[in-house]
Amino acid sequence: MKVQTFFTGLIATFGTAWVLVIAYPFFALKDQAAIEWEDKDGNPRQYSPTGQNHWRGAEVYRQENCQTCHTRVIRNSVAGSEVFRSDWAGQKHYDEDGNLLADTRRESHPLDYRDKHYASMGTGRVGPDLINYGMRVAAEVKRANEANEKAIAAGEMKPFTVEELTYLHLYNPRKDVAQSSGEKNWSNCPSNRHLFITKSAAGQGSVRALPVRTKEGSQVVPSADAKALMNFLNASQHDQMLPKSESKGENFAE
Residues 128-157 vs ligand HEC: string with x where CB under 6 A? x----x--x---------------------
Q: How far is the CB of 185 from ligand HEC (least distance, A)?
A: 10
Is 189 a binding residue for ligand HEC by CB under 6 A? The answer is yes
CA distance 194 to 197: 7
Buried b (16+ CB within 10 A) or exposed e, 17-33: eeeeeeeeeeeeeeeee
Where in 57-116 is the site for ligand HEC (CB under 6 A)?
A: 61, 64-66, 68-70
Where in 215-244 is the site for ligand HEC (CB under 6 A)?
A: 229, 233
With contacts defined by CB under 6 A, name the span among 22-30, 33-41, 105-113, 124-132 that binds ligand HEC.
124-132
Interhelix angle 162-171/133-147, nearest 10 degrees: 100
Is 126 a binding residue for ligand HEC by CB under 6 A? The answer is yes
Q: How far is the CB of 171 from ligand HEC (least distance, A)?
A: 11
What Cα–Cα distance (Å) separates residue 201 from each residue in 134, 160, 168, 184? Answer: 30, 21, 18, 31
Buried b (16+ CB within 10 A) or exposed e, 171-198: bbbeebbbbeeeeeeebebeebeebbee
Binding residues vs ligand HEC (CB under 6 A): 61, 64-66, 68-70, 126-128, 133, 136, 169, 173, 178, 184, 187-190, 192, 229, 233
